[in-house]
């Protein structure tokens, strides 16, 4: 005899185990400053016209779906599919099957384009930074500077028959990479990203140094790629520490004192790798999703904003 179907609400009550996805979404639901985010986007979001017509999807629902896309590396079509498949994601987005319209891939794409068009992902990053500052989490005393390569598809088997012209190749060690770079400035105390810039992969890391500092640093920390006598001279002064790793003279050997200093700097700098780990491993953003720098830059601002909230979620929840 076939089993009687169980109503979805009853099934949730009877379930004994909370999955990792449900736990993650519950934590993020608690720490995202929804009111601030919605107030930021609302002036640009379409309203019901005076002549009526089909009302737009609720703004909060679309923002939640957009965040799900970034947390789980979902394309627009896959985001729509996943909303049908996953009870946990539907609950997070505030969707009930049969009661609400589920946004289709075109609606999801249009919302993303709206954020890109009005520069709202950069505003989201800034709003999260302000929220964390209000909570006393970012102290803004020292800055860790670093960059990472975001790979782009190198294949020419696509509609254009060519690689993305806005991406470029660069050599790191003995390996070549094709894509773009994300450059970040990180609060030395909390590990939170306070500044972000992007470039093609070919650009040397040190070229965006000034854009990553907030100007109130008492210390800066970076690897050998940022060595500059001029910058070091400009930063020296009472109560300031130049934490850029020492580089051996060409054809020479690093002094033992400089080696010890480098070990100390490396220990402090280790914290700068945490935001990259969250974006690349936790959020699975290992390759660019779109063609061109602008769309990928917009997504990176969202990813690092959400990464900041994930990084300090325990402190925010406490």
Q: How many domains does the chain have?
A: 2
Name the one residue in this structure whose structure tokens are 């782009």. Answer: 152
CA–CA distances in Å: residue 187 to residues 140, 182, 223, 246, 313 = 6, 16, 16, 22, 16
Contacts (Cβ under 8 Å, ≥6 apart) of 169: 176, 177, 178, 201, 202
Query: Which of 135, 173, 172, 167 minimizes the C-alpha distance to 152?
Result: 167
Asked whether residue 168 is domain-assigned, the answer is yes
Asked whether residue 182 is domain-assigned, the answer is yes
Q: What secondary structure does DSSP assign to 105-119, as a single string?
A: HHHHHHHHHHHHHTT
**Domain limits at 252?**
139-295
Sign of the CA dihedral running 209, 212, 218, 223? negative
pTM of the shown model: 0.90
Q: Looking at residues 137-161, what average pLDDT do you find? A: 86
Query: Which of 281, 318, 285, 282 minimizes the C-alpha distance to 31?
Result: 318
- As a whole-number percent, the residues of the chain with pLDDT over 70 amount to 93
The 10 Å Cβ neighbour count of residue 276 is: 20
Asked whether residue 163 is domain-assigned, the answer is yes
Mean pLDDT, the chain, rounded, equals 91
Q: Looking at residues 269-274, what average pLDDT do you find? A: 94
pLDDT score at 101: 84
> Do 109 and 165 lie in a common domain?
no
Which of these ranges, 1-15, 19-33, 208-222, has the smallest mean pLDDT?
1-15
Most confident of 92-106, 119-133, 155-169: 119-133
Dump pLDDT digits (tens) for 59-94. Answer: 999 999 999 999 999 999 999 999 999 999 999 999
> Do 285 and 164 lie in a common domain?
yes
Phi-psi region of 33 (alpha: psi -120 to 50; beta: other; left: phi over 0): beta
Dump pLDDT digits (tens) for 212-237. Answer: 999 899 999 999 989 999 999 988 88
pLDDT score at 141: 86
> Do 114 and 43 lie in a common domain?
yes
Q: What secondary structure does DSSP assign to 43-85, as a single string?
A: GGS---BTTB-SPPPPHHHHHHHHHHHHHTT--HHHHHHHHHH
Contact 201, 170 (CB under 8 A): yes
User: Predicted confidence band at 97 (pLDDT cuts at 50, 70, 90)?
Assistant: confident
> Do 25 and 66 lie in a common domain?
yes
> Do 164 and 273 lie in a common domain?
yes
Which of these ranges, 132-141, 260-269, 299-308, has the smallest mean pLDDT?
132-141
pLDDT score at 254: 87
């Amino acid at each position: 005899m076939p089993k009687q179907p169980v109503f979805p609400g009853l099934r949730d009550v009877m379930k004994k185990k909370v999955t990792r996805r449900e736990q993650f979404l519950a934590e993020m639901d608690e720490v995202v400053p929804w009111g601030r985010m919605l107030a930021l986007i609302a002036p640009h979001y379409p309203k019901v016209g005076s002549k009526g017509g089909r009302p737009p999807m609720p703004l909060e629902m679309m923002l939640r779906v957009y965040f799900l896309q970034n947390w789980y590396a979902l394309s627009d079509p896959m985001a729509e599919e996943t909303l049908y498949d996953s009870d946990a994601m539907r609950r997070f987005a505030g969707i009930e099957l049969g009661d609400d319209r589920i946004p289709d891939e075109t609606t999801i794409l249009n919302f993303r384009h709206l954020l890109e068009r009005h520069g709202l992902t950069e505003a989201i990053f800034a709003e999260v930074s302000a929220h964390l500052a209000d909570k006393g989490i970012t102290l803004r005393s020292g800055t860790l500077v670093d960059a990472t390569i975001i790979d782009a598809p190198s294949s020419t088997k696509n509609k254009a028959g060519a690689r993305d012209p806005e991406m470029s190749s660069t050599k790191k060690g003995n390996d070549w990479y094709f894509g773009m770079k994300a450059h970040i400035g990180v609060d030395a105390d909390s590990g939170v990203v306070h500044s972000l810039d992007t470039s093609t992969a070919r650009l040397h890391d040190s070229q965006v140094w000034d854009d990553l500092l907030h100007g109130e640093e008492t210390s800066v920390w970076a690897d050998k790629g940022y060595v500059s006598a001029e910058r070091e001279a400009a930063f020296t002064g009472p109560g300031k520490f130049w934490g850029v790793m020492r580089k051996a003279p060409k054809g020479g050997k690093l002094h033992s004192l400089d080696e010890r200093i480098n070990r100390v700097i490396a220990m402090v700098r280790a914290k700068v790798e945490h935001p990259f780990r969250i974006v690349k491993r936790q959020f699975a953003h290992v390759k660019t999703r779109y063609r061109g720098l602008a769309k990928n830059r917009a997504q990176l601002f969202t990813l690092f904003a959400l990464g900041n909230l994930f990084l300090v979620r325990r402190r925010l929840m406490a």
